[in-house]
Amino acid sequence: MKSGKSTELPNGRVHPRFAGLTTFLRTPRLQDVAAANAPVDWAIYGVPFDGGTTYRSGARFGPRAVREASQYVKSYHLEHAVDWSKCMSVADAGDATVAPFSCENNVNTVAEFARGIGANTTKLLAVGGDHSIALANMRVAFERAGRPQGGLCVLHFDAHLDTVDRVWGEAYSHASPFRRAIEEGIIAPKKMLSIGVRGPLNMEEDLAWCKAQGIEIISAQDAITTSSALEAIAKFRTSTNAQATYISIDIDVLDPAFAPGTGTPVPGGLSTARLFEHLRAAKGIKIVGADVVEVLPDRDHAGVTALAAAHCLAEILAASTA
């Protein structure tokens, strides 16, 4: 993306990173963006909602924790040799309006909020909140991408498949966002790559359903011990061939040693370094929207989970530069 715009970041050598108002990555509030940098290329917004959790709740406090942790995330990306703040306009759009008592209502409420952010060319980076909020962001990313035939391609990092039909009779929860998105036709399961999935699972059928849909799954074990995930991402980049792609990062893709602050932790996950390696391999993919979800600050230690999530935001922005 080369928009000719830039992001008005305070200089960390002039304005200390421990001072000032706390926004995602120290980006300006959307309403404060200078005319020359509007409409913004990316808007980051929080979704303080955890009514879709099936185990430990508390991810509603995720956006605040990620904002705080993101103060020390710098903008020059070493591996990509790019400063994302110098080649695109990014802003913090605040927190979405939420409907805390109803997961289904919340998806609609958040999507409506997201539709009002920036312009149609503004890409949306949602910070959860539990994974149910991804459905809202994917809906609007799909609309802004021009409703591509067959749906968005998806690069998904998660310990879980998140394609369960119903939990406790409910069709909307953090276990189901991709199931609903496939039904709505906004994502293309045959162009979906899920990395970091690990067991034990509830039942074999959960995995079988995904495979029948054509979702490619790279298990955490394979992603850690082999180069299969990197190869799959390279193949994904070629096969999607500049088609609109959505990136969804459930922070529980990381091992609980790296991300204890999450609601449904599963041992045997990726290290933070390994995840970043995968995200860097995504450069060149046409990223049209993304989310980073499932940070649960009350279970975090020393803020490591929120910090990892904050860095994921910067990785996504840097990967989306030209």
Cβ distance to Mn ion smaller for residue 151 or 177: 177
Cβ distance to Mn ion smaller for residue 60 or 131: 131
What residue spans of 145-270 are helical by DSSP H? Answer: 177-184, 204-213, 220-225, 228-240
Residues paired with 95 in a beta bridge: 46
Distance CA 219, CA 61 (A): 29
Cβ distance to Mn ion smaller for residue 30 or 223: 223
Q: Which residue is nearest to Mn ion (CB)?
A: 250
DSSP-assigned states of every residue in 239-308 = HHTT--EEEEEEGGGB-TTT---SSS--SS-B-HHHHHHHHHTTBTB-EEEEEEE---GGG-STTHHHHH
Site for Mn ion in 137-156 (CB under 5 A): none
Site for Mn ion in 242-271 (CB under 5 A): 250
Q: Say which residue the tokens 């790559």 belong to.
A: 193
Residue 130 interacting with Mn ion (CB under 5 A):
no
182 DSSP 8-state letter: H
Distance CA 322, CA 192 (A): 23
Residue 162 interacting with Mn ion (CB under 5 A):
yes
Residue 291 interacting with Mn ion (CB under 5 A):
no
Would you give the end-to-end CA distance of the chain in angstroms?
5
- Site size toward Mn ion, by CB under 5 A: 4
Cβ distance to Mn ion smaller for residue 117 or 197: 197
Q: Taking the complex as a whole, how short is the minimal distance between the CB of residue 285 and Mn ion, in angstroms?
A: 20
Q: Taking the complex as a whole, how short is the minimal distance between the CB of residue 179 and Mn ion, in angstroms?
A: 12
Q: Taking the complex as a whole, how short is the minimal distance between the CB of residue 120 and Mn ion, in angstroms?
A: 28
Handedness of CA 221, 227, 228, 230 (dihedral sign): positive
Among 26, 131, 139, 283, binds Mn ion (CB under 5 A): 131
- The 89-128 contact track toward Mn ion, x by CB under 5 A, reads ----------------------------------------
Q: Taking the complex as a whole, how short is the minimal distance between the CB of residue 64 and Mn ion, in angstroms?
A: 20
Cα–Cα distance list, 99 to 39, 123, 138, 180 (Å): 28, 23, 18, 19
Residues engaged in binding Mn ion (CB under 5 A): 131, 158, 162, 250
